[in-house]
């Protein structure tokens, strides 16, 4: 049976991915910093759960080794865990920057560092890193998040070029505004800002229709089946990505308009 680890799997996009994988007959290990939440998700899906802090490289390595030893293989490593921050650049302290980089970028690095050698050795596997449309578009008012997600996209594309020689596939998932609990946990454990205090409302001003996580998970599985390097969804996200590719200057102008709309709202 194919086996997958999904970090950040207790809720939101991670839980939707775990459900979708289970629907495809994959054995899933739901890993999350919320150990109780991971256990509840695992019980619902009939799979395994694990408490995991992705900023702890040794813990990530140990989980990958345990799954590989127990099942003889690791087919999918979904580096999905992440946190959200919101606010103007001048409102962020170094604690905001360091926390987001530690979880959203370094956490992906830890997952890659643990899973990639295993997949090279077995000659197959897929590493799926959750980035964001903020990783392919100059998304303002969340600068540490945007920076980290651009890093995830760059890491994924460069690793994909190397990994092909070993039979390993790498994908970056770039969701647009998706309906997840992340909007209710912006700047977790960090100083709040004008944007973070009402993050869900801010998101709805930009994107009145928040994309269902379950629909995104199906998009991700289709993208994996089609071996897409970047899986960007929904259509509004692909439009933002295309705009940035065609005219970075115009993309920045569009982002500036969005800032003014949010500040007025």
Catalytic sites, residue numbers: 145
Tokens of 16: 């939707």
Cα(35)–Cα(49) distance, rounded to whole angstroms? Answer: 8
d(CA 112, CA 79): 8
Long-range contacts of 138-143 (CB under 8 A, 24+ apart): 138/244, 138/248, 138/251, 138/252, 138/255, 139/255, 140/255, 140/256, 140/258, 140/259, 141/86, 141/87, 141/88, 141/195, 141/202, 141/259, 141/262, 142/84, 142/85, 142/86, 142/87, 142/195, 143/89, 143/92
Q: Which residue bears the tokens 């694990």?
A: 50
116, 164 in Cβ contact below 8 A?
no
State how far the Cα of 35 lies from the Cα of 75, in Å rounded to an integer: 23
């Amino acid at each position: 049976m194919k086996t997958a680890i999904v970090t950040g799997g207790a809720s939101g996009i991670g839980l939707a991915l775990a459900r979708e994988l289970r629907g495809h007959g994959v054995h899933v290990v739901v890993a999350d910093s919320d150990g109780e939440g991971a256990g509840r998700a695992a019980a619902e899906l009939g799979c395994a759960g694990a408490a995991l802090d992705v900023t702890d490289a040794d813990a990530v390595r140990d989980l990958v080794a345990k799954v590989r030893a127990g099942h003889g293989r690791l087919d999918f490593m979904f580096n999905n865990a992440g946190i959200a921050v919101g606010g103007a650049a001048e409102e962020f302290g170094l604690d905001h920057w360091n926390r987001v980089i530690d979880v959203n970028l370094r956490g992906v690095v830890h997952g890659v560092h643990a899973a990639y050698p295993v997949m090279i050795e077995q000659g197959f596997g897929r590493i799926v890193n959750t980035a964001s449309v903020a990783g392919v578009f100059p998304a303002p008012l969340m600068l540490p998040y945007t920076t980290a997600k651009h890093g995830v996209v760059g890491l994924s594309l460069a690793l994909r070029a190397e990994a092909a020689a070993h039979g390993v596939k790498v994908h970056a998932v770039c969701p647009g505004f998706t309906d997840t609990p992340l909007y209710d946990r912006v700047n977790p454990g960090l100083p709040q800002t004008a944007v973070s205090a009402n993050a869900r409302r801010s998101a709805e001003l930009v994107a009145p229709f928040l994309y269902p996580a379950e629909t995104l998970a199906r998009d991700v599985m289709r993208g994996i089946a089609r071996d897409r390097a970047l899986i960007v969804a929904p259509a509004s996200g692909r439009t933002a990505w295309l705009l940035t590719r065609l005219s970075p200057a115009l993309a920045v102008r569009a982002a500036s308009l969005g800032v003014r709309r949010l500040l007025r709202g």
